[in-house]
Structure 1
Amino acid sequence: MKFIINREVLLTPLQQIVSVIEKRQTLPILANVLMVVHEGQLVLTGTDLEIQIIAKIAIEPATPGTITVPARKLLDICRLLPKGAEIKCELQGDKVKISSHRSRFSLSALPADNYPEFAESALENHFFINAGQFKKALDKTLFCMANQDVRYYLNGLLLNISNSKLKLVASDGHRLAIYEDQLPQATGFEARIILPRKGVLELNRLLDDPETDLKVEFSSNNIRIFIKDLVFSAKLVDAKYPDFSKVFQQEFFNPLYIDKQLFREALTRVAILSNEKFRGITLDVSSERLSISTHNPEQDEAEEELAIDYQGEPLTISFNAQYLLEAVANLDSEVAALIIASNASSCFVNEQNERTYQFIVMPMRL
């Protein structure tokens, strides 16, 4: 195996691949990147056996071959070489020799035959979507995913396809985000799959060009997404997502309309003096006025008053300030609509007129 490649051409795909590779591996070869040179193409593969990224790079001239080399060491070498440098890679025995101008490196390699195969079932469903559209949907939901929850289906994101409708749902049990959008083409099928948390975060990072068109293939076990010269694959969470429809089937107080920016700023200021562990703040709602207050074990107190548009009964309810802040920050409209359940079991944070994005947060006792 032998090839010459420009530093910039190699650096970006290497960075994308290395992020999925765990620093501590049970199998030493999983810390390596698989390099395959074949028919004028360099194919790089990295995996942790749950997620896999394959990058394809055109190179000429090249001598075919396959090998695996330590991924992070190769990335660091490329990163620290001068911009525009030509990198020459050559396999010699069980070493990969890397040279560029006056720099010489020799990396210990492991044979490609030992590299584990990423098991994928037949991917019978597929749809097309714009990268910018998909990234917006991910951005508005992924922050609600649980992290290391024993209810492992919450450590991921629900992707629901219903013909031409796309719905993404994420929840950690205390809050829930729902984002709905239309696909450019009807799919003719209905499916619900759960993407794993790490896979969602990696995928969101890869969608850096909003103009790119994606092809998404999936089965009940796997998902594969084609992003330009990258192929992203992940194993799906084998579970059923809980039914959240009951939260809509209840009585609600009248909507409370408030200027989004003023509300964010007031929440941020009041939250400074909230309990560091629970981040609790209290909303006192009355006609045309909202009072936001908090206190902490050190006897510090904070209170802010805001003008609101509300016609209804006065009410008092408490929330985690961070949950409210993240919900409001993801609204596109200038006015936030807060709709509180009449039994004070939940609060919807919506756009003023649209219902494509809905955030639901459970109250807390202070």
Structure 2
Amino acid sequence: MKVICDRSALVESLNLVGGVIISRTPKPVLTCVKVTAEGDVLTLAGTDMEVAVRLTTPRVEVTESGEMLIPSDKLQQIVRESVDPTLTIAADGEAAHITGQDSKFKIYGYGVDDFPPIPEFDGSADFEISAEELHRLIAMTIFATARENSRYAINGVLMERDKNKLSVVATDGHRLALAKGHCNSQNDTPQSAIVPTKALNLLLRLFDDAEQTVSVKIQDGQILFATEQAVLSSNLVEGNFPPYADVIPKDGDKKATIATDVLVSAVRRAALLTNEESKGVRLAFDEGGLTLSSRAPEMGEAEIKVEIDEYNGDPVEIGFNPAYMLDALKVADESQVHLDMKAGNKPGVLRTGPQFLYVIMPVNLQ
């Protein structure tokens, strides 16, 4: 194998594939990137046995076809530190020779036969979706997934498709984010899958062109996302996702409409005087507006008064974790947010239009 690569394009491709490769493992081949040169295409692939990425690298000249395994960390370091506009990569048995204008490197790799197979995107897609829409749905939910929770199913994000409607849901038991969107599908059979957070974080980096169309296929306990340039495959999270529709309150009779930027600013300021012992912000709603207050022992207290666009219902006081509120407000894509509440000890529901809903549990401020 011998190939001449544009160095900047190769750096970008290696960074993307490197996101799935693990540095410490009993299986040395899993620390490697698989490099395949065929025709006029250079393909890079990596896997950690749970998630796999395969993508083609632009601006290459293949002078000799072949494939090899190269340790990912050293290859990335050499390519990143090089000052040459192009680099030549050639195989000599299991060793890779990387040559620039004034430098030569030799890296010992492994036999390609030891590399685990990476799933192929065969056949037609279950549905297609624009990269822009997919990014929106993931960004509006992924922050609410559980971290290191014993309930393994909520460590991932639930994707549910019904005809051309796609719902994406995440929860950690303290809050729940639900985003709705549209896809194109010829398959009328409803589908659902719990996708690991790691795979979706990689997806956000891999498919960064809003104009791309992403094909999606669910098969044999795996989900595959593909464009013309790249394929991301991932094992699905096992287990049952909580029945999320049951925990979305539908009886909130106290309704507030607030400018998104106004609420973000007020919550940020009130959060300045909270700590680990008192990490809640009190929100007091009435016809006169909204008052946010917080206090932390031995630190002090804060009070911020905010005008709101509209409020219907009796006065209510409720405490929320400000970090949880800001997580949702950061991804709100509307100028106004709507907050529905029932009582100070009941969950609140934050909405931005019909496509985003966020349930947040109250905190005890006593």
Normalised to the residue count of structure 2, the TM-score between the two structures is 0.93
CA deviations on 1:269-320 (whole Å, 9 max, x unpaired) are 1101112466211111222221111111324111111122213111111110
- Flag structure 1 segments of 5+ consecutive residues without an equivalent: none
Aligned-partner residue type, residue 92 of structure 1? D
Corresponding residue of 2:182: 182
Aligned pairs for 1:170-209 within 5 A: 170-209=170-209
Aligned pairs for 1:204-283 within 5 A: 204-219=204-219, 221-248=221-248, 250-276=250-276, 279-283=279-283
Corresponding residue of 2:83: 82
Corresponding residue of 2:137: 137
- 1:365 and 2:364 equivalent? yes
Counting matched residue pairs gives: 363
Corresponding residue of 2:128: 128
What is the SS of the residue equivalent to 1:310?
strand
CA deviations on 1:311-349 (whole Å, 9 max, x unpaired) are 311111111001111212222222221101347321011
Q: Is the 8 A contact 2:317 2:344 kept in 1?
A: no
Q: Is the 8 A contact 2:129 2:182 kept in 1?
A: no
Corresponding residue of 1:311: 312
C-alpha distance in structure 2 between counterparts of 1:241 and 1:36, whole Å: 39
What is the SS of the residue equivalent to 2:226?
strand
Corresponding residue of 1:67: 68
Corresponding residue of 2:115: 115
What is the SS of the residue equivalent to 2:312?
coil
Corresponding residue of 1:327: 328
Corresponding residue of 1:355: 354
C-alpha distance in structure 2 between counterparts of 1:121 and 1:91, whole Å: 28
Structure 2 CA distance for partners of 1:268 and 1:23, relative to 1, 3 Å: same
C-alpha distance in structure 1 between counterparts of 2:155 and 2:345, whole Å: 26
What is the SS of the residue equivalent to 1:36?
strand
Corresponding residue of 2:147: 147
Q: Is the 8 A contact 1:41 1:56 kept in 2?
A: yes
Normalised to the residue count of structure 1, the TM-score between the two structures is 0.93
C-alpha distance in structure 1 between counterparts of 2:119 and 2:260, whole Å: 47
Aligned-partner residue type, residue 275 of structure 2? N
What is the SS of the residue equivalent to 2:36?
strand
Shift of 1:182: 1.8
Shift of 1:268: 0.4
C-alpha distance in structure 1 between counterparts of 2:205 and 2:62, whole Å: 32
Structure 1 stretches of at least 4 aligned residues deviating more than 4 Å after TM superposition: 119-125
Structure 2 CA distance for partners of 1:254 and 1:37, relative to 1, 3 Å: same
CA deviations on 1:202-234 (whole Å, 9 max, x unpaired) are 111222110111111112510111133111111
C-alpha distance in structure 1 between counterparts of 2:304 and 2:46, whole Å: 51
C-alpha distance in structure 2 between counterparts of 1:71 and 1:121, whole Å: 24
What is the SS of the residue equivalent to 2:294?
strand
C-alpha distance in structure 2 between counterparts of 1:193 and 1:165, whole Å: 14
Q: Is the 8 A contact 2:125 2:215 kept in 1?
A: no
Q: Is the 8 A contact 2:259 2:336 kept in 1?
A: yes
C-alpha distance in structure 1 between counterparts of 2:8 and 2:228, whole Å: 17
C-alpha distance in structure 1 between counterparts of 2:40 and 2:159, whole Å: 37
Q: Is the 8 A contact 1:120 1:222 kept in 2?
A: no
